[in-house]
Structure 1
Amino acid sequence: MDKLRRVLSGREENEELGLTAQVLDASTLSYGTRVKWFVICFAGGILCSILGTALLFLPNGLKLFAVFYTLGNIAALASTCFLMGPLKQLKRMFEPTRLIATIVMLLCLVLTLCAVFWWHKKGLAIVFCILQFLAMTWYSISYIPFARDAVIKCFTTCVT
């Protein structure tokens, strides 16, 4: 199959591919596959978050809630890697316009798990989950042009 691909792409038959070219050749996904895995990963993230919320009311539910809610947010965040690729995703995450939102979001993901497993502070875990939600929302709307400005204007109008 590789020989056929090389012949059809115009490469000579005895031409050796470099390691980077081989890796990129093997890991290229079609657009349809990227969209399918984005939907699967994003839906899995939403399902984890909903499951975590449902488990909140069990005896050890807060730990399960924190884990599933955090995993859900990580899966939803990772789902966009299928659309734009992991390196481009990381570059865009740490652009100056969304740097603070990214840092707060990642910090809240870690602090939620710390509050539940190491510090055993239930109230603090809930606060960090709320901050996770707010940071993830602020991060997500940074991809929509002028959305942050609209939210700020709406919030200041409601407050004043």
Structure 2
Amino acid sequence: MDKLKSVLSGEEAKNDRTVLQNVNKASTLILGVCVLFLPKIGITLFIVFYTFGNICALGSTMFLMGPVKQLKRMCDKTRALATTIMITCLVLTLCAAFWWKNFGLALLFCILQVLSFAWYSLSYIPCVREAILKLVSLMMK
């Protein structure tokens, strides 16, 4: 919130962060990917944190709209399939990591999480999914 206030008030030009703070802010993604290379538990940690991050992202939209309104919107006929696939991918990722111990399959489900969450998110922008489908169909010709 402080960042938003500083941008709106025009005080954004003052950048009093230290070099260490800038490096820390820029390296969080890299550190998340480096967890993949920890022996034995790296992939599991990455999968858990990645899935938890997607759940938090979904929960943040509930914070903005309210949980009941968000759940109703998730079940609209335009989003029901995308919601089902997204939640299924979240669950299957955790199942592949913990119960099946198949980390290749778990990483595949992580990729499917990205795609399904993107498709779900695009449903909130009018006509974008239809435009993407038309673009893909033109490219396939």
**Please, what TM-score do these two structures have when normalized by structure 1?**
0.67
Look up the match of 2:82. 101
- The runs of 5 or more residues in structure 1 that have no matched partner are 1-31, 36-48
Considering only aligned residues, what root-mean-square deviation do their CA atoms show, in Å?
A: 1.8
SS in 2 for 1:143: coil
Look up the match of 1:57. 37
Q: 2:91 aligns with which of 102, 110, 122?
A: 110
Equivalents in 1 of 2:86, 2:34: separation in Å? Answer: 23
Q: How many residues align?
A: 114
- The runs of 5 or more residues in structure 2 that have no matched partner are 5-27
The structure with more radius of gyration: 1
SS in 1 for 2:126: coil
SS in 1 for 2:130: helix
**Please, what TM-score do these two structures have when normalized by structure 2?**
0.75
Q: Is the 8 A contact 1:56 1:65 kept in 2?
A: yes
Look up the match of 1:148. 129
Q: Aligned residues: percent identity?
A: 58
Deviation at 1:103, TM superposition (A): 0.5
